[in-house]
Structures are given as structure tokens and as C-alpha cells.
Chain A
Amino acid sequence: MGKQAIERIVEKYGSDHADVLEMLIDIQEKEHYLSRETLQYLSERLAVPLTRLYHMATFYEALSLKRRGRHQIHVCMGTACHVRGAARILEQLERCLSIKSGEVTPDLQFGLATVNCVGTCALGPVVSVDGEYHGHMSASKVERMLKRYSETEANGVAVCQK
């Protein structure tokens, strides 16, 4: 992320170092990750130790040091979803995308992660893709859902079967 773009975010919060988490969330949303250069710049700009920024970046689940996918898939692992079989859905997604939770496909198209609870328990099991909720999911619906987002049909998604 360019310095100017970071500067716009910093100024939105009045350069207040107490709002550093807000700034990190904004950068994460735009860039899909926090680069080393970004963290270094922020550290100097706000006089916040770089170690604290790394602590935050690794402590909070919504922040990431690695690039995330253009389509970010979140599998809700809340209790309500768990008792309705969320683990099987996660396994099927991992199988279809050939990546593990927390990883991203080599073409950066899809990122896969779990979330503790998205708070739409009545729809469980829930998978959210780019913030769109897919309720009452099942392992057998995974492939169809992925196809809706796939930019290249032949890429990644079509390999749901070994």
C-alpha cells in the first residue's frame, strides 16, 4: 500500500495512536493483508513500537501478515453451526480448494479461514464469502457455492474430486 493511502487512513483517525487497531482493520480491508513496509511506516508515523504492531497483527484473527484471497471464505465454527455439522463443510472446502484453513489458493483467488461465530446462528451451518452469507450449508452444496464465485471455472474449483 502506498504511503499516501496509508496517510489518508491515519488522518481519518486524527493520527491518534489509540486508534491504531482501527487503522490496521482499514488497511487489512483494502489490502487483504498487512505488509512489512506498511507496519514499519505506521510504527514510525505513530511512534508505536513495531513489536506491538506485529503482536496485534498476529493476535487478532481479522488481521493477517499473509496475503488473503480475492474471495475470502469464512466458515462459521460457532457452537450452533458445529452441532449442525460445520466441521464437515470445512473439510469439504479444504478438499475442493486443496488448501488448509488459513491459507490461500496459489492464484490468490480464494482464501479460506474459520470464524468463531458470525452471529447468524439460525441459518447454521453458515459460510460467508466476501461478506455474503450462505445459510443451511452442507458438504454437498460446497462445490456449487464455489462455482458462483470462481473467476476461472477450470481453476481450483473444478478439482473438487481427487
Chain B
Amino acid sequence: MSKINSVGELAELRAAILDQRDAGRPCITTCLGTGCHAYDSQEVYNAFAGEIHSRDLADKVDLRGSGCHGFCEQGPIVVLSPGEICYCHVQPEDAAEIITETVLKNEVIERLLYRDPVTGRRFEREGEIPFYKHQDRLILGQNRLLDPKNIEDYLALGGYKALAGALAEMTPEDVLEEVKKANLRGRGGGGFPAGIKWETARRAPEKEKYVIVNADEGDPGAYMDRSLLEGNPHLILEGLLIGAYAIGAAEGYLYARQEYPLAVENFTLAVQQAEEYGLLGSDILGTGFAFSVKIKRGAGAFVSGESSALMAAIEGLVGEPRPKHINTAISGLWGKPSNLNNVETWANVPLIIERGAAWFKRIGNERNSGTKIFSLVGKINNTGLVEVPMGTPLRKIIEDIGGGIPGGKKFKAVQTGGPSGGCIPEQYLDTPVDFDCLEELGAMMGSGGMIVMDEDNCIVDVAKYFMHFLKDESCGKCSSCREGTTRMYEILDAITRGEGREGDLELLEELAWVMKNASLCALGSTAANPVLSTLRYFREEYAAHIQEKRCPAKVCPALIRYSIDPEICDGCGRCRRSCPEKAITGELNTPLVIDGALCSRCGICREVCHLEAIVVE
């Protein structure tokens, strides 16, 4: 590939790529995102490739391996166009039939269609499936349409058009103004307006400036950034290039978790391709603009996702937060002005530049423009990535898109905002989801994790879980955070073991106040949120643990007891065989008995019982 030397040449190349392609030709898209990949979607892809080769169909059918479509629960997912027929749980042995029936004869294979778990109804087209129907997939929707390893796919969809437009027709100030007008708020958690941050970095006196992609997606239960980087790396790169042009940076960094190998691989490849095509380097598209990108891997430290910590990590130091007496936008990486945004924020930039701030502002609500991607996970029927306009009510996300709670269980709470967020109970499900409303409820948007809990989840256990996480991840620099998280964890642990005391809840609140006011970075100052929000809405559940030594959700091992209902048990012996403590005794074919003294409450007997004879009290 020879370098593209001008904006005109980019348009010509795009026209040439489109010319070679037949838009009406059938295309089989197999999701190769990490979720589907874990269900062996690569083998499904290979089976299609084998069939196409052996039947000599290469010039009649296109085959594409794409990034994540978002509907991970149903993987491996295959979408056939034209018609956007969506097949779920596809196995390699289905490939031949799909080609014969659907691709060549236009016949739909009923058994592979998505089936609604509640109504049993089947849906043919992707857009008709309730999970997709109620979404607005401006960013995530592009994943399905391209092979992340192929820059030509991205160009065919209009990729780098926004960059070309910005370089050729806009001054850096124009770009900055557009992003400010769009009111793009940072998708990484804080919701700080990106345009204002960009402006601060641009106006900073130092000549050398940096732009950074924060791909250290550390919130447990959130994986939208992973899917974007894996599925559409050029979109992030284009956003970063536009930002660099607006700010006046010549160098950029991507800092990604080492746990996301495919994201690192695909982004590295995207950078190499962009260099080959002249979209990175000196004199990009003949406009004189120069920019290069380096990729750095993190090695598993939650606190390193904080902006000053991340910059320290890029410098080769330990990724711990630094005091921000001066904003990182003025003095960040190597003391130079540095603008850091997360993956999803950068992904929005090309859309804003191409379609304009006015268009962007029409999506969402007054103070929150655009869409937000959530990872809807936990006790929910349709698990996956969901993109909706900001301000969409929680209930719509959980009930219409998520399809409600599995197994006829009752909704208890939804946890948003990761370890700095909070739990929202049923009575607030009609709250619009945006940066401001969630904060009023004592939760926060965070990077978009949305973990649904049902009646079988213990709220004290969840608070303890987050405190355990934060205690481990606190870097230890501030004693309020280091000791505060540890003490809070000890108190919560004691409560779940039935050793809670009167006054514990008040002590937790007091510790929370100190941590909030005395910690350097957001990890410490927000660490108490999961406890405070659960105390606010579920105080009686804490009280049951402390006063009655009872876990209402029957989760905390020290407060529950397993037994076998002799009326139901048929003595099949499955539980006796699998019990790791040898706590189950009795004659086969007669009701068995659990010895409470030996039982470790691991729950395996309940998992293997075919009659639901195991009772937990």
C-alpha cells in the first residue's frame, strides 16, 4: 500500500474500495469478540471458511469475522446479510446448513433464531430482537459491520472522513469549539466535559503536549472499552488523532490492561496500518500535521486507571496517583500538558466532527448529550453490552432490553459505577440514567457497569465484596484510604460472620466521612460509596445480620444451614458423591442427611441435586 498523500487521495481510495465491493452480495458475519470466542466462535468461522472453499463460493459469499456485537449471552452469534438474520448459539456443524438454507435459498432456520426466554417467541431479524430494538447503537453498532483487522472495512464505512474534514476544513480551534458545543462528557466515570479539558491543555504554554487513551478499564463488571478496542480500533485512533490536532499534540499513548490481549493486538495492528496508509506519521494526508502513537500495557492495578497514576505508569514509574495541585491538562506526562480521555469518549469524537455538535446534542437530555454504553450483567436474562441515549430510564434498560430477571426471581438492586458507585433499589427504577441523576441517588455512572442483583444476593455481602476489592487495590499512600478500607472490610466481614455489634453501622458512616475528606485521589474519596448507598436503602438487611444473626438472602455461610428435605430426597446419592467434606451420609435410595458440623456450605449438593431437595435456612 502506498501512502495517502492528500484528502483527495483518501476519497479516491475509499471510492476504489467501494467499487470493488458488491453491497448486495450475501455476507456471513461471525462474532469473534472475546465473549463469543470463549464459546469457540473461531471454529464456527473456520467451518464457514471451509464450506465456502469446498463449495467454491468465494466469489458469491463474503465471510467476515467481526468484533463484539454486544449480545454476549447468546454467543456464538452469526448475522447474515442482506436481511440481518441473527442466529444464536451457532455451532461449527451448523455452518453447512446455514449456507445451504439461508445464504443460498433464503430459508430461515427456526431453531437457530433468538427465542425470548419469557414469551418463547422467536425473532428473525437482529433489529426485531427486543435486546437490540430498544437500543441506539451509534458506536457499538459499527462493530458488526467491520473486521477490526482490516482497515479497508473501516474506510469503506466512511472511516477517517471526520479526520480528513477536520484537517482540511477546520482550524484546531474550530474542532475544539465543536466538541465543547457538543458537551461531550468523559465516559470514564467523572463526566467532566471533554472540550473544557482539551481547551486547558491547548492553552497551556508548553509546546510539547500529549494525548492519552485510558484503556485501563478497571471497574469490575464493565467491558465496553474492551469491546470497542477489540472491535473497532480505528475509531478510537481516529478520535485520538482529531483530539491531538485540536490540542496541538504530536504524540499519543494508549494504556491498556494486560488482561485484554486481543484489544492490545488489534489496536497495535491498527496503528501499524494507519502508519502504512499515511494516517499516522509526519505530514498526515499532506496537511503538515504530524502525530505518532505508542502502546503501553498495564499489569493489573485498579488505581493505575486514575489519570495521574496512569501518567506515572507511562513514564515507567509505579502507577500510583500523584497530588494534582496543578491539573494534568497543564502538567501531566513528563510535566507536560496532557489530555487523557477514556476509550468510549474518544470513540464519540469522529461522530461529533462528522455529523456536528447540533446533531449530537439532540441525542440524550439537556445536560447529558449522546449515548452511553453499559455492560448489563449479573442476574439478568439478556446479558451483554447495551448502548442507549443518556437519560434512558433504568427500568427500560433492565426490563425492555435486559428482559428482566431469570428464573422468576425478584429484582433487588442494580449496582452502577463500579467500586465507587452504589446500589439502586426498585423504587428508583424510573430514574433517568445520566451523570447527574445517578449521583443524586448516591450511585454514579462510572464507566458504565450495571450489575443486576436479585433476591438471592445479600447486600451486606456485596458491600463487603467491594470493600475487599478496594482494600486490595488501595495503593496505601494515604492512611485514610489504606486503614479506612481495611477497617471497613473488617467490620463488614464480622457482620457477615454473625459477629456484628451495636454501633457498627454508625462507625462505618464515621469512617466513610474521614475517607471521603482525607484521601488524595478518587479511589479513597469514593471508596465508601458502596457501603453508604447500601446503608441508605437496605439498612434493615444490615440490622438483620447484626441483631438477629440472620442473612435474609441466605448467602453468608456463617448464618445459614444446609439440610435435606426427607419428603423430597430419593436417596440417589449424587450429593453424597460430590460433597467435598463427606458431610452427607445415609443409605442409597433412602433420604440422606447432612452433618451440619462437617458441612462447609459450599453449595455443591444444591447444584447437583436433581430434585431441589436441598434446603437452605
Stretch from A4-12, A58-66, A103-111, A150-158 forming part of the interface with B: A58-66
Query: How far does the Cβ of A69 sit from chain B's closest Cβ, in whole Å?
Result: 17
Task: Give Cα A91 to B581, complex, Å.
Answer: 12
Is there an interface contact between A139 and B449, defined as CB atoms closer than 8 Å? no
Stretch from B164-172, B219-227, B356-364, B534-542 forming part of the interface with A: B219-227
Greatest chain B CB density within 10 A among A19, A80, A123 is at A80
Task: Say yes or no for B299: interface residue by CB 8 A criterion.
Answer: yes
Contact of B318 (CB < 8 Å), options: A52, A126, A138, A162: A52
Is there an interface contact between A117 and B219, defined as CB atoms closer than 8 Å? yes
Task: Give Cα A162 to B218, complex, Å.
Answer: 37
Question: Number of residues in A with C-beta < 8 Å to the partner?
Answer: 53
Is there an interface contact between B258 and A62, defined as CB atoms closer than 8 Å? yes
Task: Say yes or no for B457: interface residue by CB 8 A criterion.
Answer: yes
- Chain B residues whose C-beta falls within 8 Å of the C-beta of A24 in the assembled complex: 299
Q: CB-CB contacts of A124-162 with B at 8 A, as 1s and 0s?
A: 101000010111001110000000000000000000111
Nearest residue (CB) in A for B418 is A79
Q: CB-CB contacts of B289-330 with A at 8 A, as 1s and 0s?
A: 000000011111110000000000111111110000000000
Task: Say yes or no for B604: interface residue by CB 8 A criterion.
Answer: yes
Task: Give Cα A55 to B320, complex, Å.
Answer: 11
Query: How far does the Cβ of A29 sit from chain B's closest Cβ, in whole Å?
Result: 9
Which chain A residues numbered 64 to 94 have a C-beta less than 8 Å away from chain B?
77-80, 82-85, 88, 91-92
- Chain A residues whose C-beta falls within 8 Å of the C-beta of B49 in the assembled complex: none
Task: Say yes or no for A56: interface residue by CB 8 A criterion.
Answer: yes
Is there an interface contact between B260 and A92, defined as CB atoms closer than 8 Å? no
Query: How far does the Cβ of B239 sit from chain A's closest Cβ, in whole Å?
Result: 21
A79 and B221 contact, Cβ closer than 8 Å, known pairs A20-B316, A122-B35: yes
Is there an interface contact between B301 and A140, defined as CB atoms closer than 8 Å? no
A117 and B607 contact, Cβ closer than 8 Å, known pairs A55-B318, A95-B580: no
- Chain B residues whose C-beta falls within 8 Å of the C-beta of A48 in the assembled complex: 316
- Chain A residues whose C-beta falls within 8 Å of the C-beta of B578 in the assembled complex: 140
A88 and B602 contact, Cβ closer than 8 Å, known pairs A22-B296, A120-B72, A133-B38: yes
Which chain B residues numbered 220 to 243 have a C-beta less than 8 Å away from chain A?
220-223, 226
Stretch from B55-63, B144-152, B375-383 forming part of the interface with A: B375-383
Is there an interface contact between B465 and A82, defined as CB atoms closer than 8 Å? yes
- Chain A residues whose C-beta falls within 8 Å of the C-beta of B296 in the assembled complex: 19, 21-22
Task: Give Cα A83 to B462, complex, Å.
Answer: 8
Nearest residue (CB) in A for B598 is A162
Task: Say yes or no for B441: interface residue by CB 8 A criterion.
Answer: no
Is there an interface contact between A60 and B415, defined as CB atoms closer than 8 Å? no
A119 and B259 contact, Cβ closer than 8 Å, known pairs A83-B451, A83-B462: yes
Is there an interface contact between B259 and A19, defined as CB atoms closer than 8 Å? no
A63 and B383 contact, Cβ closer than 8 Å, known pairs A79-B451, A119-B259, A122-B35: no
Query: How far does the Cβ of A97 sit from chain B's closest Cβ, in whole Å?
Result: 12
Task: Say yes or no for A121: interface residue by CB 8 A criterion.
Answer: yes
Task: Give Cα A56 to B217, complex, Å.
Answer: 19
Is there an interface contact between A18 and B378, defined as CB atoms closer than 8 Å? no
A60 and B580 contact, Cβ closer than 8 Å, known pairs A79-B415, A120-B38: no
Task: Say yes or no for A50: interface residue by CB 8 A criterion.
Answer: no
Query: How far does the Cβ of B460 sit from chain A's closest Cβ, in whole Å?
Result: 13
Greatest chain B CB density within 10 A among A55, A62, A82, A84 is at A82
Query: How far does the Cβ of B546 sit from chain A's closest Cβ, in whole Å?
Result: 21
Task: Say yes or no for A99: interface residue by CB 8 A criterion.
Answer: no
Contact of B378 (CB < 8 Å), options: A55, A80, A118, A135: A80
Is there an interface contact between B258 and A25, defined as CB atoms closer than 8 Å? yes
Is there an interface contact between B379 and A83, defined as CB atoms closer than 8 Å? yes
Which chain B residues numbered 570 to 611 have a C-beta less than 8 Å away from chain A?
578, 580-582, 600, 602-604, 607-608
Task: Say yes or no for B543: interface residue by CB 8 A criterion.
Answer: no
Is there an interface contact between A140 and B608, defined as CB atoms closer than 8 Å? yes
Query: How far does the Cβ of B611 sit from chain A's closest Cβ, in whole Å?
Result: 16
A92 and B580 contact, Cβ closer than 8 Å, known pairs A59-B301, A80-B451: yes
Task: Give Cα A80 to B218, complex, Å.
Answer: 13
- Chain A residues whose C-beta falls within 8 Å of the C-beta of B223 in the assembled complex: 117, 119-121
Q: How many A-B residue pairs have CB under 8 A?
A: 163
Question: Number of residues in B with C-beta < 8 Å to the partner?
Answer: 64
Task: Say yes or no for B143: interface residue by CB 8 A criterion.
Answer: no
A92 and B300 contact, Cβ closer than 8 Å, known pairs A83-B462, A119-B223, A162-B582: no
Query: How far does the Cβ of A54 sit from chain B's closest Cβ, in whole Å?
Result: 10
Contact of B221 (CB < 8 Å), options: A19, A117, A138: A117
- Chain B residues whose C-beta falls within 8 Å of the C-beta of A63 in the assembled complex: 299
A18 and B314 contact, Cβ closer than 8 Å, known pairs A79-B449, A123-B72: yes
Greatest chain B CB density within 10 A among A17, A55, A116, A126 is at A116
- Chain A residues whose C-beta falls within 8 Å of the C-beta of B37 in the assembled complex: 133
Task: Say yes or no for A115: interface residue by CB 8 A criterion.
Answer: yes
Greatest chain A CB density within 10 A among B217, B300, B607 is at B300
Is there an interface contact between B220 and A21, defined as CB atoms closer than 8 Å? no
Is there an interface contact between B319 and A139, defined as CB atoms closer than 8 Å? no
- Chain A residues whose C-beta falls within 8 Å of the C-beta of B384 in the assembled complex: 122
Nearest residue (CB) in B for A118 is B259
Query: How far does the Cβ of B484 sit from chain A's closest Cβ, in whole Å?
Result: 20
Task: Say yes or no for B453: interface residue by CB 8 A criterion.
Answer: yes
Is there an interface contact between A116 and B260, defined as CB atoms closer than 8 Å? no
Which chain A residues numbered 1 to 44 have a C-beta less than 8 Å away from chain B?
16-22, 24-25, 28
Contact of B38 (CB < 8 Å), options: A56, A135, A162: A135
Task: Give Cα A27 to B418, complex, Å.
Answer: 31
- Chain B residues whose C-beta falls within 8 Å of the C-beta of A80 in the assembled complex: 220-221, 375, 377-378, 383, 449, 451
Enumerate chain B interface residues (CB-CB to A < 8 A). Answer: 34-35, 37-39, 72-73, 75, 217-223, 226, 258-261, 296-302, 313-320, 375, 377-379, 383-384, 415, 418, 449, 451-453, 457, 462, 465-466, 469, 473, 475, 578, 580-582, 600, 602-604, 607-608
Instruction: Name 15 interchain pairs, CB-CB below 8 A, sorted by A.
Output: A21-B313, A52-B318, A79-B377, A79-B378, A79-B415, A116-B473, A117-B259, A120-B38, A120-B72, A121-B222, A121-B377, A122-B75, A124-B378, A140-B578, A160-B580
14 new A-B contacts, CB < 8 A, other than A77-B469, A92-B604, are A55-B318, A59-B318, A60-B298, A61-B301, A63-B299, A82-B465, A91-B600, A95-B602, A96-B580, A115-B300, A116-B469, A122-B384, A123-B35, A140-B578
Enumerate chain A interface residues (CB-CB to B < 8 A). Answer: 16-22, 24-25, 28, 48, 52, 55-56, 59-63, 77-80, 82-85, 88, 91-92, 95-96, 115-124, 126, 131, 133-135, 138-140, 160-162
